[in-house]
Structure 1
Amino acid sequence: MTTAPAMPALATPISTADGSGGQAATLRSATAAFRRMDGSTASRQLVEPVLAHLRLIQKIAQEAGHREQRARLAAAGSEAAGLVAWLSWDMGDHGSARTWYGAAFKAARRACHPLLAAYQLGSLAQFEAHAGNAAQGLALARRARRALEAECPAVADAWLSGVEALALAAAGDAVAAGGVLDDAAGKVRGVAAQAPWPWVFTFDGAKVAAVRVSCGARLGRADWVSGAQDDAGAVLASGHEKQRALLMLEIASGHLASGRIDGAFDLAKRALEVGVRYKSGRIVERARSLRRAYAPVVPPKVVRDFDDCMHDVFL
């Protein structure tokens, strides 16, 4: 998705530049509203309404009489399925996330919408990169780029570069990841504020910096994390609490890599509290991963406090 992640920051109006209108545009606007709610709503509360919304789109599509109308509704269904995948990922249900990303891609293909298909492939690539499946993430990101051929909007180009960087970082290739991130930063300079549909949120320099923080956390490069942290400030200041908590955990990993244990676990504890409040399996598992990376014989108090919070987690 959002998405990812591609990490949401400032909402933009849904675009009708793809030529769709009427019923399909109304359904897509409803999906966009659900996507904006994700930042401040538990995925477990959102997933059933979004599934009902998806079933409505599918029912209307089945009854559509014209091929063009069915294609527009398939595009609307693709976006809704992609949101279900994103919510499943947040809940820690990786099997469902993969299934729904696959369904979203197939619906985009039926819609004959290359940009939407590339978006869904890129979203799945982002998911696999975060899961540590580097080769699969990289292959999917490159397949998404090929699907666009010569018609690749700047925001899609930069976003896919960010996804590729995450996959390269998961593979431990700091040199290649750094080069791709530099390329992404150059691509977003001068990009219009409003991203094309299916993006609901902007992808700008702050987002590229947030991806660099994530890559640095996976590579154990504290210098990447500290160097990009200020530029990612807009993401940390956004209203999307779950994405902000995930970025805080990446910054905490940078602190841990540089030996700042108190700072790392103070930040991680705050992020974990957000994960517990929103019942986000993704946040909690990332917090567990951070804790596994630090195994002293006698943990300091800040770590014991973090452990106390973790012991109370029952999602």
Structure 2
Amino acid sequence: MMMSQEIGPVLRRLRMSAGRSRPEQAEHIQTFQGGRYFDPDRLKRWERGERIPTSTDFQLIADAYSLHLEEVRQAVSLARQARRLARLHPLIEHDQAQEEDRVDRRSFIGTALAAGGTMASEPWGRLAAALHGGPVDKPTAGELEKSTGELFTAEEHMPARLLAARLTSHLDNITTVLPRAGEHERALTIAAGETAALAGWLYWDLGDHETAACYYSTASLAGRRAGHGAVNALVLGYASYGVNSEKAREMLTAAQEHVRGQGYATARAWLCAREAEEAAAMGDQEAAVRALDRATTAFDYAAPGGEQAWMSFFGQARLNSFRVATYARLRHPELTSAADDALASLDGVDTKVRVAVLGDVATGYLTAGDIEQAVEVGRRALTATVQTETTMGKVRLTALADRLPNNSTARTFREEIRAAIA
């Protein structure tokens, strides 16, 4: 069976499951190499990710830890990939030596809480019992996981400033029960990582990029500790909005590697569509069109609303708006048709997705030369942006205002945008 964790956490988990200290594990390893001395510090560096085993170590590790050789190779490959990702973007870097201590104390979420503040726990009956020291049972864990999903749904409608306190409180609840999570530890660690990623997105939306970076880093750590790459894909997808197009493409390509399994088609479609958008921004038409094709193919296999809670925003309307945004940047001949399709698919969508779609469609019509339609759709986008207070909407409308011509209708709308955003 293929590993879903890097080699360091795997070795540490197996050692602890055997009840051995590092020196004891080093002695155990010695028996598999003819009694030759094995340095416990070497093992320490492996477990912390400070060093990655080389191919000459693979068979020894497989023998000493009762693993298949291919499992070792896969875990080492994941470790190398994680190291490349850490170099790729500072939002997902972390100090490996400090990481282990934080995790052992079950307080790795503390970094994010320190950045975002800690709120009192919500008064849930079953959770209150757990907070008094009892073990976390299945209903309590299920309630926390369900509440995590509900936060992503709430984010589609609620301004970031209103949701932030509720989200931080939920993260505090998970952090409090993690030491007693038992068999539910991995599931709750994943929920904590998803919650921290959403917190990063909210604080980025609020303009607090330093706090957003803390949450993203902590979310990435949670995903790594749980061996759940999808959390890291979510972090990379969110964080890609805050960097230049070249860096964003690298991050989005890396993110797609984490969501290749069954049940992640919607996530793949989103990440591919984002890649198309950024490729188009760089003028790479061929790559942009290929990425859009991959997004469409993935979406054909998707079950929107039936996969990850954090992908609940991504439906046909949002996919269509990504196509419009990509075509607008490429000045594609099918831009007007794509804009019409996106507008038609918007019926019944009344969330922040509406802001993104209307903003993309307005820009698409303007690029195609239909100024009257651009202004009409742009006014709808402005109304939705004011209601939801979303930064993404403001960014789109500011860019639209800068491109509007100086005829009377467009000039009046430009002034409306600037007054509303100011």
TM-score using structure 1 length: 0.79
What residue number does 1:275 align with?
385
What residue number does 2:365 align with?
255
Q: Could you tell me how far apart the structure 2 residues matched to 1:101 and 1:308 are?
A: 36
Once the two structures are TM-superposed, the CA of residue 287 in structure 1 deviates from its matched residue by: 0.6
Q: Could you tell me how far apart the structure 2 residues matched to 1:302 and 1:265 are?
A: 8
CA contact (8 A) 2:152 2:312 kept: no
What residue number does 2:223 align with?
108
What residue number does 1:137 align with?
248
Identity level (%): 28
Code of the residue aligned with 1:83 in structure 2: it is L
Once the two structures are TM-superposed, the CA of residue 118 in structure 1 deviates from its matched residue by: 2.5
Code of the residue aligned with 1:122 in structure 2: it is G
1:140-181 Cα deviation digits (max 9, x unpaired)? 122223345666743333333222212212222122101121
1:118 equivalent among 233, 238, 253: 233
What residue number does 1:6 align with?
none
What residue number does 2:116 align with?
none
1:289 equivalent among 382, 386, 399: 399
Identify the range of structure 1 (79-88 vs 198-207) with the bigger mean alpha-carbon deviation. Answer: 198-207
Query: Residues 2-17 of structure 1 correspond to what in structure 2 (within 5 A)?
Result: none
Change (3 A) 1:65 1:38: closer
What residue number does 1:302 align with?
409
Change (3 A) 1:233 1:257: closer
Once the two structures are TM-superposed, the CA of residue 77 in structure 1 deviates from its matched residue by: 0.8
1:44 equivalent among 145, 161, 176: 161
Match of 1:313, SS state, is helix
Code of the residue aligned with 1:270 in structure 2: it is R
What residue number does 1:209 align with?
320
Please tell me the root mean square deviation across aligned C-alpha atoms, in Å: 2.8
Q: Could you tell me how far apart the structure 1 residues matched to 2:290 and 2:302 are?
A: 20
What residue number does 1:64 align with?
180
1:163 has 2:299 as partner:
no
Once the two structures are TM-superposed, the CA of residue 86 in structure 1 deviates from its matched residue by: 2.5
Q: Could you tell me how far apart the structure 1 residues matched to 2:369 and 2:342 are?
A: 22
Q: Could you tell me how far apart the structure 2 residues matched to 1:274 and 1:152 are?
A: 32
What residue number does 2:140 align with?
23
Identify the range of structure 1 (41-50 vs 108-117) with the bigger mean alpha-carbon deviation. Answer: 108-117
Code of the residue aligned with 2:389 in structure 1: it is K
Once the two structures are TM-superposed, the CA of residue 273 in structure 1 deviates from its matched residue by: 2.2
Code of the residue aligned with 1:169 in structure 2: it is A
Query: Residues 144-183 of structure 1 correspond to what in structure 2 (within 5 A)?
Result: 144-148=255-259, 153-183=264-294
Tell me the number of residue pairs that the alignment of Structure 1 and Structure 2 aligns. 286
1:166-216 Cα deviation digits (max 9, x unpaired)? 221222212210112112212322444554235452755544322211212
**Structure 2, unaligned stretches of length 5 or more?**
1-136
Runs of 4+ in 1 over 6 A off after TM superposition: 149-152
What residue number does 1:313 align with?
420
CA contact (8 A) 1:242 1:274 kept: yes
CA contact (8 A) 2:283 2:330 kept: no
Once the two structures are TM-superposed, the CA of residue 27 in structure 1 deviates from its matched residue by: 1.4
Match of 2:156, SS state, is helix
1:99 has 2:214 as partner:
yes
What residue number does 1:7 align with?
none
1:201-243 Cα deviation digits (max 9, x unpaired)? 27555443222112123x1526343232344357522434322
Q: Could you tell me how far apart the structure 2 residues matched to 1:248 and 1:255 are?
A: 10
Change (3 A) 1:212 1:50: same
Q: Could you tell me how far apart the structure 1 residues matched to 2:374 and 2:343 are?
A: 18
Code of the residue aligned with 1:223 in structure 2: it is P
Change (3 A) 1:163 1:314: closer
Q: Could you tell me how far apart the structure 1 residues matched to 2:214 and 2:350 are?
A: 25
Relative contact order: is structure 1 or structure 2 higher (C-alpha 8 Å, sep ≥ 6)? 1
CA contact (8 A) 2:318 2:353 kept: no
1:236 equivalent among 346, 351, 355: 346
Q: Could you tell me how far apart the structure 2 residues matched to 1:92 and 1:230 are?
A: 33
Code of the residue aligned with 2:415 in structure 1: it is D
What residue number does 2:190 align with?
75
Once the two structures are TM-superposed, the CA of residue 52 in structure 1 deviates from its matched residue by: 1.5
